[in-house]
Amino acid sequence: MNVLGIESSCDETSVAVISDGKLVANLISSQDFHVNYGGVVPELSSRAHLQIVLPLLKDALSESKLTLKDINVICATAGPGLIGALLVGLTFAKGLAYSLQIPFVPVNHIEGHVYSGFLMKDKPEFPFLAVVVSGGHTLLLLVNSFTEIQKLGSTVDDAAGEAFDKVAKMLGLGYPGGPKIQKAAEHGNKEKVTFPVADLADPFNFSFSGLKTSVLRYVQKSFKDNIIPDNERNNIAASFQDAVIRAITRNAERALNNFEIKSLSLVGGVAANQPLRDALTNLAARYNKRIVIPDMQFCGDNAAMITFRGMKLFESGKRFELTYNPFPGIPENHFSI
Amino acid sequence: MNIKPILAIEASGNLCGAVVYFDKSKYTEININIKNSHSGLLLDIIDKTLLYAGIGLKDLECIAISSGPGSFTGLRIGYSAVKGLAFGSSLPICPVPTFEAVALQLSHVLSEGTSFVIANKVNVEEVYYARFHIKSNNYIFAEKLEIIKASDLQERSKGYSSFGNAFNKDDEYSAPRPYYVAEWCKLFGAGLHTLNYDYIEPNYFKNFIVKESLK
């Protein structure tokens, strides 16, 4: 079976092909021009998706050494994400599936991340704890199978990736914040400032809004006119990054102590952060659990994970109508399309 | 000679519709005028339009699409669907200028010699504006399509019949019926058919300007 998938939820257009269970193409076109605006501009993102999706699909087929007629199922991200961006990939996929008279499978982007560890050689073992950390979401999920996900906790305000972006902006490091903070932190001392980690009534929930405000207050109090010397900027970045990592590892450890969990998987765009990868790897080692962290190409938005998730939905017997609409957010506790 | 039918799609405004156009008197057309229905219903409308016509995509000459200007999102839904449909069935695409398709539609109801303006909202401050004249049962441009200030519209349309949502938000002539998108393609679109549509996009007409840097 040959499955083709399309991702267009934010600022990456991606097309992937899985042939008989093997990933044979995963092309990603990143819209780097958003850097000029300090964040993703939805209208420009939508325009770029429409321009690039077909050439990218042709290249993915070429790389797969397949033709359109060889494709059996077409998947596309349905949400959450930027609605205008989602509409392009989803509608294109529906049109293509209709013209080829083959099934169309809409995919929840978060579920794509959750199962992205299965794109690796060493795969997660059910039930596993998925630590989903991205620009839009911070979630702790207990994943029991390909059809059952239990939400343990989520952020009550900002996502971790969002906090990285906002703090990077405060520090004048630019966009995107994740890599910029990590790079600055490499030259900083994380012990220099102790930023607080929110302790909420629900032990598995996160809050990064207070942390972000703490950084702002510290900057305003310590530096006149927000002029921050490089070494101080690096120290703040390191201290902030450490606080985020402490929050995530603390809640993940709580989950390990309270649920039967065979393995861990750190997924999402912020899973590219090396100190976070190291911290979760150390946590898993302490509990003698396997940890699966996808390769960098599967951490950011990519169609490989969408294609894999779509394939699993199709294999489980799920079928969808072409009237399926994209969704910008996910309803509370809802993870199955 | 066996002339193949055209599938034409209109999604540039509130109207979401499709037609399978064989000729002026033989066609199947489905329209839905419900805001924000395009994403969910467009493919279903196309499916049923083809079904009632008793044909499949492989039987078509081309797919015509109302190319704008209009709602950015509506135009992109139409273009995304059409790119998928056309590529999957190796069909050419024919982009049809939205205002001209409306003018063609109006040429069937307005009298010889009538001058008329079509104006649709861009935003609260601006409108897409074009002026036409009916001559020999067809339309000709009197003023080319442009973006003007909404505050200038009254003056610029004085003495002319006026159509479009800048005058009346529910005006039925703010977007063409798919039938006239198809007819425009049939009458004037022969040179516009293209299989080279990898990078094709709607005629947004208005460049999107990021007003304030997020930096």
Structure confidence at residue B41 (pLDDT): 97
- What is the CATH class of B99-163? alpha beta
pLDDT value at A283 more than 70:
yes
Structure tokens at B181: 């998108």
What confidence tens digit (pLDDT) does each residue in B87-135 have? Answer: 999 999 999 999 999 999 999 999 999 999 999 999 999 999 999 999 9
Most B CBs within 10 Å, among A61, A88, A92, A180, to test the B interface: A92
Please, which pLDDT band fits residue B209 given cuts at 50, 70 and 90?
Answer: confident
Mean pLDDT in residue range A257-279: 96
Is B82 touching A (CB cutoff 8 A)? Answer: yes
| CA atoms of B40 and B43, how far apart (whole Å) | 8
Say what percent of chain B tops pLDDT 70.
97
B212 interfacial to chain A (CB closer than 8 Å): no
Cβ distance of B39 and A88 shorter than 8 Å: no
Instruction: Kindly state whether B205 is in contact with chain A, defined as any CB-CB distance less than 8 angstroms.
Output: no
The answer to whether the CB of A46 falls within 8 A of the CB of A88 is yes
B156-184 mean pLDDT: 97
Angstrom distance (rounded) from CA A115 to CA A128: 10
Q: What is the pLDDT of residues A99-136, one digit of tens each?
A: 999 999 999 999 999 999 999 999 999 999 999 998 88
Q: Is the pLDDT of residue B1 over 60?
A: no
Residue spans of the domains in chain B: they are 6-98+175-199, 99-163
Average pLDDT, chain A: 95
pLDDT of residue A332: 58
Q: Which domains does chain A have, with CATH numbers?
A: 2-113+300-334 (3.30.420.40), 121-293 (3.30.420.40)
Amino acid occupying residue B183 = E
Q: Look at residue B215 in the predicted model and tell me its pLDDT.
A: 43
Residue B26: CB atoms within 10 Å = 10
On the question of a common fold for B6-98+175-199 and B99-163, the answer reads yes
Residue B212: predicted pLDDT: 60
Task: Note whether B84 contacts A99, CB cutoff 8 Å.
Answer: yes
Query: How many cross-chain Cβ pairs, A to B, lie less than 8 Å apart?
Result: 115
E runs forming strands in chain A: 2-7, 12-19, 22-30, 73-79, 104-108, 128-133, 138-143, 149-154, 263-267, 290-292
Strands (E), chain B: 6-10, 15-23, 26-33, 62-66, 93-96, 115-121, 126-135, 138-149, 161-163
A92 to B204: CB separation less than 8 angstroms, yes or no: no
Q: Contact at 8 Å (CB) between A291 and A131?
A: no
Interface of B with A in 99-158 (CB under 8 A): none
Cβ atoms of B42 and B50 within 8 Å: the answer is no
- Predicted confidence band at B214 (pLDDT cuts at 50, 70, 90)? very low
Q: What is the pLDDT confidence band of residue A39, given thresholds at 50, 70 and 90?
A: confident
CB contact under 8 Å between B76 and A99, yes or no, is no
User: From the CA atom positions of chain B, what is the Rg in Å?
Assistant: 17
Q: Residues A143, A149: contact at Cβ < 8 Å?
A: yes
Residue A337 confidence (pLDDT): 47
- The answer, yes or no, to whether residue A64 has pLDDT greater than 90, is yes
- CB contacts of B86 in chain A (<8 Å) are 99
SS3 content of chain B, % helix, strand, coil (to 5): 35, 30, 35
pLDDT over 50 at A172, yes or no: yes
Instruction: Give the whole-angstrom CA distance, residue A305 versus residue B1.
Output: 50
Q: Can you tell me the mean pLDDT for B181-197?
A: 96
Q: Which CATH superfamily is domain B6-98+175-199 in?
A: ATPase, nucleotide binding domain (3.30.420.40)
Cα angle: B60, vertex B63, B67; to 5 degrees: 165
The DSSP secondary structure of A185-222, one letter per residue, reads: HHTS-TTS--------SSTT-B--HHHHHHHHHHHHHH
Mean pLDDT of chain B: 95
- Per residue in A200-251, pLDDT tens? 999 999 999 999 999 999 999 999 887 899 999 999 999 999 999 999 999 9
Q: Is the pLDDT of residue B17 over 50?
A: yes
What is the model's pLDDT at position A37?
A: 86
Q: Quick one: pLDDT at residue B207?
A: 81
Lowest mean pLDDT among A46-60, A80-94, A320-334, B95-109: A320-334
Chain B CB within 8 Å of residue A9 CB: no
List all residues 6 or more positions away from A114 whose beta carbon is below 8 Å from its beta carbon.
Answer: A130, A132, A141, A143, A149, A265, A267, A309, A335
Question: What pLDDT is attached to residue B195?
Answer: 95
The C-alpha atoms of residue B204 and residue B72 are separated, in whole angstroms, by: 7
- The percent of residues in chain A predicted with pLDDT above 70, rounded, is 98
Question: Residue A216: what pLDDT?
Answer: 95
